Amino acid sequence: MNFSVKVVLYPQTAADCLKGSFLVTVHSVYHHTVNLRAGERLLAIQPRSAAPTPFGITTSLSGEEFECLTLRQGERGLWSGGELQLGCLRLDLKTGELWQPRITPVPEELWRPRFLSGLEQTIARGREKSALARSLEPDRGEAETPLGQLYHRYISQAGALAGQGAFSSAARQYCMLIGLGDGLTPAGDDFLVGLLAALRGLEQEEQTGRFRTALEEEVEAQLAKTNDISAEFLRYACRGAFSRPLCQLFSPAEPEAALDWLAGIGHSSGIDTLTGVREGLALHRSLTAAKTV
């Protein structure tokens, strides 16, 4: 017997991957995510409570209902005509709302006044969960651990190189963070997603744009250093696609709600991402100031 599940939301990036008919395979199963391998790309099926991602299909299921799904790693299904048939599960993409996982750049003067203090406060409240965030604090007790020392060294050296205009070297140094840290999406990867979002989120001037391009190219070249799921987030970030809370973060009308949303993601993923956003803002200001000198 088929179990039909309503799709409530899906990103344009997923829609672009889902044209035609093809086989899919269950890549991995977690409490609130089932990841599917579709050719060279990943798709994620999620309950309605999960933050929408650039490759996630949000269903009408609650978290408890989602955990009752009996899908197994390696199980195969068919995507055809906008519908997925996977075991007894049937999804119809046509029932969902389409959203654009893109950040619309905004002038910093419209966005910054209400946002910066909230960003710092949110990171400060969550710093106990994030070894990466603690490693960048002035007292940085966590930097005395080997992992904290690596976070601090790579980020501080990369920022200094970018400030000197050595964009390729800075990008390579930031990419030392890829795959660094524990969890499904390592802290170093989350930081880079936030950094790339900030570089996309503010209206670009030439220097910031040049550095962003160098970083995106270097990240894409080193995706093999991390796991498949985290690499997918990074791949989309390099192409300008982000989760919904990150997209909302750069809306002048919604940054406070987006900060709270991001802070609650994962054990430390949201805080690590916001720490990357803060780094991107600092780089943007540094590069803009250097141009005016």
Mean pLDDT for all residues in the chain: 90
The pTM of the whole model exceeds 0.75:
yes
Per-residue pLDDT band at 286 (split at 50, 70, 90): confident
Residues 45, 132: contact at Cβ < 8 Å?
no
In terms of pLDDT, which residue wins out, 82 or 131?
131
Provide the pLDDT for residue 17. 81
Residue 40 has pLDDT above 80, yes or no: yes
d(Cα 10, Cα 94) in Å, to the nearest integer? 10
pLDDT reported for residue 85: 92
**Least confident window among 23-27, 153-157, 228-232, 247-251:** 247-251
Is the pLDDT reported for residue 157 higher than 80? yes
Confidence of residue 137 (pLDDT cuts 50, 70, 90): confident
In this predicted structure, the answer to whether residue 145 has a pLDDT above a threshold of 90 is no
CA distance 44 to 50: 11
What gap in Å lies between CA 132 and CA 267, rounded to an integer? 12
The mean pLDDT value for 95-114 works out to 80
| The pair of three-digit structure tokens given for residue 230, joined into one six-digit string | 């985290």
Q: For residues 170-195, give the mean pLDDT.
A: 96
Q: Are 234 and 193 in contact (CB under 8 A)?
A: yes
Name the band, by pLDDT with cuts 50, 70 and 90, for residue 293. Answer: very low
Average pLDDT over residues 20-44: 92
pLDDT at 288: 81
Torsion of CA 8, 269, 138, 150, to 10 degrees: -140
Q: How far is CA 90 from CA 23, 34, 71, 74, in A?
A: 14, 14, 12, 17
Which residue did the predictor score with more confidence, 87 or 172? 172
Largest CA distance in the chain: 69
Confidence bin at 1 (pLDDT 50/70/90): low
Highest mean pLDDT among 14-28, 60-74, 133-147, 159-173: 159-173
Give the per-residue pLDDT at 21: 86
Work out the average pLDDT over 189-216. Answer: 91
Residue 16 host element (H or E): helix 12-17
Q: Which one has a higher pLDDT value, 254 or 36?
A: 36
Stretch 68-81: mean pLDDT, rounded? 92
Percent of the chain with pLDDT over 90: 64
Alpha helices in 60-145 (DSSP H): 63-67, 108-126, 131-135
- Flag the least confident range among 3-7, 191-195, 288-292: 288-292
Local structure of 43: helix, strand or coil: strand
